Structure 1
């Protein structure tokens, strides 16, 4: 059995145990940001109140270039109201559609900032694209911890496992915590489908295989999504589904759809998708762990806009 198989088997065993034992199931609160259609999560062990914050959002006004903290403050208010102790602030990948609030949350709540180990590939690509200079480290040093495939961690008494699920970007990870998997930008609600794979380093074939890996987890596994875009005909935003529901109903990748069919569909679909409106500021900050670029000699931080480059 390969290391990848071992990681997946460990995650499956963990989910099966947690499904039968309420003490091994985490409490989960989702915070939806309608401006970016992003869901941030606070997940904690009810027994010890040890918590992780996943995929936080910093409010950003693109017209004025100003940041604010309403979304992050909602998370802080919840954490403090529940007397939670934050151990982890995790990004499932370098987001291209919103800016991370992790540095602000870390300052207020503590915890280690973490992302997938393949962040170094993303930093290399976008460091060159944005001409970030030699002062921009491309070794993941902006983060406190880099998760490799199969790495384990604890939230109190609840086990967590990181799974490498590239395709949307090279660095995507999913976090399996108890009976729940936080899958980032791999898959969406069944009526909306799957993530795009046309960003630098993205790969539709790799995305198919990563999603199949996730969908080989037990059918009862709760899947917590990073986004919902309210598919046509649906009136409400929803961001929790299950492996079983996805395998039966997902419009892009349900059981019976082959890898070749998926790659053909995904490639054609991605050719017509617009660039995310916040891609340029988001990537430049998120590849730095959500931190602003170093201020220039006037004390102001600047975001670069490449001309005819993206």
Structure 2
């Protein structure tokens, strides 16, 4: 490139971050410094996010320190949010909470949201409830926070807590964003909603899902009912899991595209743990690479393994 500045470096560092390549992002950062390119505040947002998605806690702390001490960049709320996310994803919830309490500026919804997301991942309901109360004060119209807290209660069977949060959302006129996944086949974009029964190939899709599920179970797959957020019987829970939007899209791709060809899916919400596990099995059974872009990052499934290392 004729002009050397931070913009292209920031872009490629950020891209490696959303693909879970934290080590490569750090390597690029060092190359950037070696070329004499000065990092800016966006560089460090990209770096901290990359470290967060790869579980590189020590490296993230080093970046946060370097940003201030060596580069003279004062942290913005986005940097603080990334640090909370970094600690929280790694299970260091107390460290994340203390980090928030000691912030020199008032935390916003992105900071408390990072803590709530981490509490959901690690099942800390008490701290999650505290974070959600802060979020309901700061951003009472964001339905995602209500959904997160409701899901946390549902995961441990606290249905009274589920109803309390859902009732609060209803009273405020909020509706949950439906989960959907898209896939492009033969230059046509197909959209699947969870539990979709209206697609022209609906019957073929569900037959394929039943075949896949049977094969998965012979390889050791066990449905994780903790990701079903309704109080129903186990057989209904298994049906709900198998009809998640990304699984419908994957089954459609399998019956609609050549064998062993890659499958690329976009999902509007975070991939649930059971679908993530199931997709690993499906990639192994079908000998396909399955690339899923969810609301957080890219997942590359191949030969029964995901690029995220089950850390997302």
Above 0.5 in TM-score? no
TM-score, normalising length: structure 2? 0.29
More helix by proportion, 1 or 2? 2
Structure having greater relative contact order (Cα 8 Å, sep ≥ 6): 1
Asked which structure has the greater CA Rg, the reply is 2
More strand by proportion, 1 or 2? 1
TM-score, normalising length: structure 1? 0.29
